[in-house]
């Protein structure tokens, strides 16, 4: 059972939505954000990465950055760039990328559901990244970026959403990267109630993306609870901003690997080493130089010193019945990266890097030509693999999933007051 609630969103004026909406804070560095904000005074990066409005010498985790984020948010609200809905609403957020759409429901999710693991996780968080967002949320007194959730398809929820998207939209624009964003406001009390009741029938919600934001939201909530010992559980700080999509609409992209060296092996020695667990075939035709993108599970592409190979995992090199061992990222890690290349921990090793599928095979070729020795192209992890791992209380191997399109920040703000 998932408890969700409507909220009075602080959101952009219609004519400013396309200018305010910004990519999440964690998909770009400060320099990239400064470049975006240089020609856009309305970009929500002025809030989510407020260092763009401070001297470059100031550390991005300095108290002044969080104060600037708070001040920028309050200034945008006071200038009328944002409006606030008068009653608690739910919202529909649709994204269309390359002709494929995903349509989610925007609501406030329960912190208690998160703490009780009814909102399930599949990643570890890093303390420094978590602390950064704790400070950001606490100073802003708001959730400024939504958590990306998913749930198992529910026919009745989908029917209501589909019917509502035939009504007039609130926002509709195409961002600079060609993605279309459309938002509808559900402000009919009876519809809001029906949808909330339907979510009570949903077994669990799953975090697809946003583990640091959700962990930080929970920590801020616990801080507020200590400050307000007589809290009822209905205060806004007991909830966090989320967008939930049915599992059948999500598209997980590949998350590829590139490695700096062959751990002292020659090309021929390396190939012989991996033949114990993989069938290795040199690619042919255009694939030999241009690259190979796997078409099914347990197959891999490998660019070794500029030449591409097909790899197929042999039976016995993994356990098909283990939700973690059968993942392609696990197969690669346990049969090549760790035993042959000597990369024990991909989280900390400086000999490996990761390339999101949105950047394509060309980026793997570029890195091998520039500073890497070998690249591996992966078949994407399935959303149901993520659910299976979450259901048993385990975590996915690092860098297992890459979701596109990214949710935009600034379209919905949830105040904790």
Token duo for residue 5: 């609630």
Answer yes or no: are the C-beta atoms of 198 and 116 closer than 8 Å. Answer: no
Separation in Å, CA 362 to CA 281, 298, 365: 21, 22, 5
Same domain, 121 and 237: yes
Same domain, 49 and 165: yes
Count of structural domains within the chain: 2
Facing residues of 320 across strands? none
Tell how strand 10-12 and strand 4-5 pair up. Answer: unpaired
The domain of 346 spans: 255-379
Same domain, 207 and 291: no
Same domain, 268 and 224: no
Average confidence (pLDDT) over 303-325: 96
Same domain, 271 and 206: no
How far is it, in rounded angstroms, from Cα 313 to Cα 331? Answer: 8
Tell me if 274 is assigned to some domain.
yes
Q: Which pLDDT value is given to residue 347?
A: 86
Same domain, 29 and 91: yes
Same domain, 10 and 126: yes
Collapsed DSSP state (helix, strand, coil) of residue 414: strand
Tell me if 145 is assigned to some domain.
yes
How far is it, in rounded angstroms, from Cα 156 to Cα 205? Answer: 16
Per residue in 172-216, pLDDT (tens digit) is: 999 999 999 999 999 999 999 999 999 999 999 999 999 999 999
Q: Which helix (H) or strand (E) holds 30?
A: helix 30-38
Average confidence (pLDDT) over 88-109: 97
Tell me if 179 is assigned to some domain.
yes
Helix%, strand%, coil% for the chain, nearest 5 = 35, 25, 40
How far is it, in rounded angstroms, from Cα 135 to Cα 69? Answer: 10
Token duo for residue 100: 């494929």
How far is it, in rounded angstroms, from Cα 12 to Cα 76? Answer: 9
Tell me if 385 is assigned to some domain.
no
Answer yes or no: are the C-beta atoms of 243 and 146 closer than 8 Å. Answer: yes
Q: Which pLDDT value is given to residue 1?
A: 83
Task: Report residue 112's pLDDT band, with 50, 70 and 90 as the boundaries.
Answer: very high
Same domain, 242 and 259: no
Per residue in 335-372, pLDDT (tens digit) is: 999 999 999 999 899 999 999 999 999 999 999 999 99
Q: Which helix (H) or strand (E) holds 103?
A: strand 100-110
Same domain, 275 and 179: no
Per residue in 80-95, pLDDT (tens digit) is: 999 999 999 999 999 9
Same domain, 86 and 131: yes
The pTM for the full model equals 0.93
Q: Which pLDDT value is given to residue 396?
A: 94
Tell how strand 205-209 and strand 119-120 pair up. Answer: parallel
Same domain, 271 and 292: yes
Tell me if 397 is assigned to some domain.
no
Per residue in 12-34, pLDDT (tens digit) is: 999 999 999 999 999 999 999 99
- Residue 141's CB: how many other CB atoms inside 10 A? 16
Per residue in 223-268, pLDDT (tens digit) is: 999 999 999 999 999 999 999 999 999 999 999 999 999 999 999 9
Tell me if 204 is assigned to some domain.
yes
Cis peptide leading into 301, omega within 30 of 0?
no
Tell me if 390 is assigned to some domain.
no
Q: Is 191 left (phi over 0), alpha (psi -120 to 50) or beta?
A: alpha
Tell me if 51 is assigned to some domain.
yes
Average confidence (pLDDT) over 147-159: 97
Same domain, 287 and 243: no
Average confidence (pLDDT) over 34-61: 97
Residue 303 pLDDT greater than 90, yes or no: yes
pLDDT > 90 fraction of the chain, expressed in percent and rounded = 97
């Amino acid at each position: 059972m998932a408890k969700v609630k409507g909220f009075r969103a602080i959101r952009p004026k219609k004519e400013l939505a396309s200018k305010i909406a910004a990519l999440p804070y964690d998909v770009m560095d400060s320099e990239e954000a400064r470049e975006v904000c240089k020609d856009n005074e309305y970009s929500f990066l002025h809030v989510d990465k407020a260092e763009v409005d401070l001297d470059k010498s100031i550390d991005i985790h300095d108290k002044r950055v969080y104060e600037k984020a708070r001040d920028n948010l309050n200034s945008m609200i006071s200038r009328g760039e944002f409006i606030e809905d008068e009653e608690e609403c739910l919202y529909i957020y649709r994204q269309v990328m390359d002709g494929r759409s995903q349509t989610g429901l925007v609501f406030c999710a329960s912190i208690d559901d998160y703490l009780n693991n009814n909102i399930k996780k599949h990643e570890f968080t890093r303390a420094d990244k978590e602390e950064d967002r704790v400070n950001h949320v606490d100073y802003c007194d708001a959730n400024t970026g939504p958590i990306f959730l998913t749930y198992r398809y529910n026919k009745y929820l989908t029917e209501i959403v589909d019917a509502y998207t035939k009504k007039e939209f609130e926002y509709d624009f195409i961002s600079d990267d060609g993605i279309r964003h459309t938002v509808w406001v559900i402000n009919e009390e009876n519809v809001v109630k029906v949808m909330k009741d339907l979510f009570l029938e949903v077994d669990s919600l799953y975090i697809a993306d946003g583990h640091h934001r959700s962990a930080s939201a929970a920590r801020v909530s616990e801080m507020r609870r200590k400050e307000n010992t007589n809290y009822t559980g209905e205060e806004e700080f007991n909830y966090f901003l989320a967008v939930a999509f049915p599992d059948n609409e999500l598209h997980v992209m590949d998350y590829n690997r590139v490695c700096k060296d062959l751990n002292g092996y020659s090309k021929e020695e390396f190939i012989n080493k991996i033949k114990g667990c993989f069938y290795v075939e040199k690619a042919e035709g255009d694939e030999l130089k241009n690259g190979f993108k796997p078409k099914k599970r347990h197959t891999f592409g490998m660019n070794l010193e500029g030449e591409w190979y097909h790899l197929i995992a042999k039976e016995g090199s993994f356990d098909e019945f283990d939700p973690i061992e059968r993942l392609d990222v696990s197969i690669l890690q346990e049969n090549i990266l760790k035993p042959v290349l000597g990369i024990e921990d991909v989280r900390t090793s400086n000999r490996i890097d990761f390339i999101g599928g949105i950047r394509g095979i060309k980026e793997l070729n570029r890195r091998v030509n520039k500073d890497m020795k070998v690249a591996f192209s992966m078949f994407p992890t399935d959303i149901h693999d993520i659910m299976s791992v979450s259901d048993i209380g385990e975590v996915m191997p690092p860098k297992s999933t890459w979701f596109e399109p990214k949710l935009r920040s600034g379209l919905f703000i949830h105040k904790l007051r």
